[in-house]
Structure 1
Amino acid sequence: MVYSMVKILEIYDSYTKGHSEHVAMLAEQIGKTLGLPVSDLQTLYWAGLVHDIGKILVPTSILNKPGKLTLDEYEMVKKHPVWGYQVLNTSEELQEIAFIIKHHHERWDGNGYPDRLSGVDIPLLSRILALVDTYDSMTSDRAYRTSLSPEDAKHIIARLSGNQFDPSLVETFLSLPSQ
């Protein structure tokens, strides 16, 4: 069932295919480095694959817009974690994954969305997804900008430690072999 959802998202937004796979694999790598149990690694991997499933409700004209989003457009994009949660939470088997993806845009400092959680109130697996999602987005070409080098993206991640990201996860991420 999860693979079917991934395929739907890939058809809707071709950028998501490689992005979701990269996020899933990198999130799992961080989880292994942290020594998380196998069950958490599996949840993290699957959550990585479907973390953007809510984007199927965002018009492609917004997702692929080459310029800056309007405030209304940005507010619509910000709804995708909740929409993804609502889609996945209807299945008992996917409720844990739904909860994780709902919070993958929360920030360590509490300025994220949808619930403005902060610090350790953000589920650990969501904090991992937030970090690797941002990294992969920065190192991928988008409609509105070209990609950054892995080194430049890592410098930005390091700078955002303690604000956007969990400092201990940033330290773990930066210690990994090159992505």
Structure 2
Amino acid sequence: MNIEARFELCSDGIDYHEIIECIVSALDAKDPYTAGHSQRVSEMALALSGVLGLPEAEVDKIHVAAHLHDIGKIGVPDAILNKPDRLQEEEWAAIKKHPKTGADILSKSRHLNELKDIVLYHHESYDGKGYPSGLKGKEIPLGARIIAICDSIDAMTSDRGYRKAYSLDYCYEEIKKNLGKMYDPDIGALALLHWSKVTASVKK
């Protein structure tokens, strides 16, 4: 039984889809930038997972994890999260704690615990220069490697306080340039091959 089905059929009768939506909405209210971000990333992750031909259970797991990938930002001070200018070094250090905070939050739920490693490692880089643990290549969970690409696409194509959104063409070239560096080269190549399908949520 896939993860979403397990959420729906828990014996305690709780609707975990609603809980996830509430959690993400709380983050959206705290950080205007994230409003819609988690939804778009989850839709891209769903599309990319489908392109990869992953089993349904794995696709569902990655889809839900993508919804929750930034939940740890709830623990970041508002003054940093909503700062309109570029972050200072100490502020950036605070932001970089959000994957660990998110993983800690998910680990407290028996239903969401299996997502924690995907959330924890979604900012790792394929070349080992990411955070929080400097994992490299296939050491990084598959879901985290997928979300890393989708997260970057949405970040680049969204307006920020210190810059306007980049075009999808610019984003395409950045993903291509960083294959094998920031991104899994095989997953990234498939994302580029199916670019329109993967980025459909960005175009809405």
Q: TM-score with structure 1 length normalisation? A: 0.97
Match for 1:171: what amino acid? A
Q: Aligned equivalents of 1:133 and 1:83: distance in 2?
A: 18
Equivalent pairs counted in the alignment come to: 179
Consecutive unaligned residues of structure 1, counting only runs of 5 or more, are none
Match for 1:64: what amino acid? N
* Alignment match, 2:68: 50
* Alignment match, 2:84: 66
Per the alignment, in what secondary structure is the counterpart of residue 92 of structure 1? coil
Q: CA deviation at 1:171?
A: 0.5
Q: Given the alignment, which residue of 58, 78, 89 partners 2:107?
A: 89
* Alignment match, 2:152: 134
Native 8 Å contact 1:65 1:144 kept in 2? no
Q: Given the alignment, which residue of 144, 162, 175 partners 2:162?
A: 144
Q: CA deviation at 1:121?
A: 0.3
Q: CA deviation at 1:81?
A: 0.2
* Alignment match, 2:131: 113
Q: Given the alignment, which residue of 156, 159, 170 partners 2:177?
A: 159
Runs of 4+ off more than 6 Å: none
Per the alignment, in what secondary structure is the counterpart of residue 93 of structure 1? coil
Match for 2:41: what amino acid? V
Q: CA deviation at 1:92?
A: 1.1
Per the alignment, in what secondary structure is the counterpart of residue 42 of structure 2? helix
Per the alignment, in what secondary structure is the counterpart of residue 35 of structure 2? helix
Consecutive unaligned residues of structure 2, counting only runs of 5 or more, are 1-18, 200-204
Residues 1:32 and 2:50 are matched in the alignment? yes
Q: CA deviation at 1:64?
A: 2.1
* Alignment match, 2:7: none
Q: Aligned equivalents of 1:44 and 1:152: distance in 2?
A: 26
Q: Aligned equivalents of 1:61 and 1:147: distance in 2?
A: 22
Q: CA deviation at 1:17?
A: 2.5
RMSD after superposition? 1.0
Q: TM-score with structure 2 length normalisation? A: 0.85
Q: CA deviation at 1:13?
A: 1.4
* Identical columns (%): 40
Could you give the per-residue CA deviations for residues 6-46 of structure 1, whole angstroms, max 9, x where no partner exists? 12111111321311111000001010011111111111111
* Alignment match, 2:120: 102
Residues 1:2 and 2:27 are matched in the alignment? no
Q: CA deviation at 1:112?
A: 0.5
Q: Aligned equivalents of 1:122 and 1:132: distance in 2?
A: 15
Larger radius of gyration: 2
Q: CA deviation at 1:2?
A: 1.5
Q: Given the alignment, which residue of 78, 89, 110 partners 2:96?
A: 78
Native 8 Å contact 2:32 2:82 kept in 1? no
